[in-house]
Amino acid sequence: MFGVPAELLLALPEHKVPLDGGNRDSQNDVFALIRFGDKTCAATIEGKVNEPFGPTVGDWFSNPSQGKRERMRHLCSLLGLDEVPPSNIRYQLMHRTASALIEARRFKTDEAAMVVHSFSPQRMWFEDFAQFLHLLGLDAIPDTANVLTLKSGQRLRLGWASGNADFLAR
């Protein structure tokens, strides 16, 4: 995904990242610091088999409280979005990506990454991931990194990694 050999520096399971608005953190399956060449990346990894990405923005943001409005403003600001995303976008993809951006700032890394590590042979929920990337102006291709520079100047890498389904049989 990084184009050069990568070295895992640190991996933390079930890593929580505080988000503005509300009182629930974004709990990432894995947070990792990764070195590749002379660069360092703060990455959140969302593991999936057959479960969906949770509610859509339309469901999560219907009749929003003040806390949800604050959180949505914060997420949109981090992601460089000028308005609330379309209702079909999965909210979980937004806050997992925001987590990577927040932690990249915290650890002063060269970039942030959010990776979906899917073990679904049918690539269940890939279309949701593709819609999220399209919102950011990217085309999703499995097992290929997409890189963009956000309005903030922060570099963001997004990817869908296909896991070996043999590991599900163990």
Is residue 40 a contact partner of residue 66, using CB atoms and an 8 Å limit? Answer: no
Listed in sequence order, the residues at least 6 apart from 39 whose beta carbon sits closer than 8 Å to its beta carbon are: 109, 110, 111
pLDDT-based confidence at residue 169 (cuts at 50, 70, 90): low
- The 10s digit of each residue's pLDDT in 6-39 is 899 999 999 999 999 878 899 999 999 999 999 9
**Cα–Cα distance measured from residue 32 to residue 44, given in angstroms and rounded to the nearest whole number:** 6
3-class SS at 32?
strand
Listed by start position, the domains of the chain span: 6-164
Beta strands (DSSP E) in 18-95 are: 26-36, 39-48
- The 10s digit of each residue's pLDDT in 83-118 is 999 999 999 999 999 999 999 999 999 999 999 999
Q: Is pTM, for the whole model, over 0.95? A: no
Is residue 36 a contact partner of residue 19, using CB atoms and an 8 Å limit? Answer: no
How many other CB atoms are there within 10 angstroms of residue 100's CB atom? Answer: 30
